[in-house]
A and B are shown apart, each in its own frame.
Chain A
Amino acid sequence: MAGTRVKAWDLPVRICHWGFALLLPALWWTAENGQMRWHMRLGLALLALLVFRVLWGFVGSSTARFARFVRGPGAVVAYLRSAPRGDFSTVGHNPAGGWSVLAMLGAMLVQVSLGLFAGDPYDGATGPLNRWVGVMTADALTEWHGAFFYAVLALVAFHLLAVAFYLAIRRDNLVGPMLTGWRSVPHRVDGMSGVPAWRPAACALVAIAAASWVGSGLPMPV
C-alpha cells in the first residue's frame, strides 16, 4: 500500500498484545499437562498484563485509550457496512475491533479471576484466593475455569478470522504494524500521539504490585 507511514501502536500496547498471544497457549499447555506451578506463575503474569492494559486504556497514548476506540452501535454498524471497501480516516482500533478488544480483555479478566479461586487443597494445586471461598464454591469456580476457556478461545478465533479477513479481502496486513508500531496509510491521516515515558513505568509498577498482592492471597496490612 503506497502512501505515508504513521505511528499506530505504542510499545506498551504491542507488548500487551504479544504477551497475551504467548501466554494464552502457554497457560493452556501447562493446564493440560499438569504443570500447575507454571500455570499459576503465568496466570499471575497474565493478571499483571491485564491490569497494565486496563490502566493504559485510561492514561496511555491515543490509540490505546478506551475513550477513543469504544464506540456506539451506530458507529459499529456504519463501519461494518464500509468494511469491505477499506477506506479509513484514523489509525487505531476500528469501531468493530474496539469491541473485540474489550471482549477479549474482559474474558481474560474473568478467566484469570476464576483461576485465582480454583483448585482443591486436598487434591493438587490451588489458586492464591482459593482459601477465601468454601469447598463447593471453589469446586464450581474450578469447573467454570475449565469451561470458560472455550469462550476465550472463541473470541481469539474470531479475532484471528478478522485479521485474516483484513489480509485476504482488504489487502491490509495488521500483523506488521502490531509488530513494528508503524503502518502505511493511503492518504494523510493523524498518527498516534504518545505520552511521557514515566506513565508506562508507573502503570507497570502498579500492575506488578497488584498481581503480586493477589498472588500472595491478598494479605492485609496489620
Chain B
Amino acid sequence: MPTKGRILFGLGAAALLATLAGCGGPQGTASEDANAGARPGVIEDRQATFERISDALKSVRAQLETDTPDFAVISAGAEEIRAESRKIAGFFPEGTGRSSGADTEALDTIWEQPAQFSAAIDRFLAAGEGVVAAARSRSAPLVSSAVEQLGGACRNCHDSFRLDDD
C-alpha cells in the first residue's frame, strides 16, 4: 500500500477498528532522528530504486510472455536494472533498518552479516549483467534463463535480509 494512503487510512481504521484492541500493530512511524546518522531520504531513495528494478524486470518479463519479444524493450529494461542495481550497495548505511523504527523491511541482519549481504549484492549485480548480455543475444530462451537467475538473486537476498512477507 502506498505510504500516502496510510495516514488517510489510519483515520478510518482508528474509527472502524476501535473495538479490536491491539490491532494498531507495529506501524512504522519513522521519527526524524531515528536514522540521524544516515543521509535523509536514503530509505525512500532505496525503495524507489527497488521499485524501478521491479518495474523494469516486469517490462522484460512481459516481453517474454509474448510470441514476439521486443528486444529493444528487453535491453532497455536490462540496462535500467543494471544501472539501478549499482546503487544498492550505497543504500544501506547503518541505522536504516527496522530497529531504527523507520518504515522499512530492511532486517538488522544486513549489518550483522555484512559479508553475506555484500555477497548477495554481488550475486545480484552479476545476474543483472547476465540479463544485459542475454538481451544483446536477442535470444528469448537465453533472456528467460537470465531472468530466472536474476529472480533467484532477488529472492536470495530477500530471504535473509528483508522482512518475510509471505
Contacts and interface: CB of A to CB of B under 8 A. Distances in A.
Contacts, number: 65
A5 to B, nearest CB: 26
Given A33-B25, A157-B16, A135 B61 contact: yes
Interface stretch (B5-13, B108-116, B134-142): B5-13
B103 to A, nearest CB: 11
A134 interface: yes
Contact of B12 (A36, A135, A157): A157
A32 B27 CA distance: 8
A136 interface: yes
Nearest to A146: B1
B58 A136 contact: yes
Interface string B130-161: 00000000000000000000010011001000
Contact of B166 (A125, A134, A146, A149): A125
Given A25-B20, A34-B105, A125 B165 contact: yes
Contacts of A157: 12, 15-16
A122 B158 CA distance: 10
B1 A34 contact: no
B36 interface: no
Interface in A15-52: 25, 28-29, 31-34, 36-37
B58 A135 contact: yes
Interface in A129-164: 134-136, 139, 146, 149-150, 153, 156-157, 160
Contacts of A139: 58
B23 A153 contact: no
A44 to B, nearest CB: 15
B163 interface: yes
24 contacts: A25-B13, A25-B16, A29-B23, A31-B1, A32-B1, A32-B25, A32-B27, A34-B105, A34-B164, A34-B166, A36-B165, A120-B58, A122-B57, A122-B151, A122-B154, A123-B154, A123-B158, A124-B158, A125-B166, A134-B62, A136-B62, A139-B58, A146-B1, A153-B16
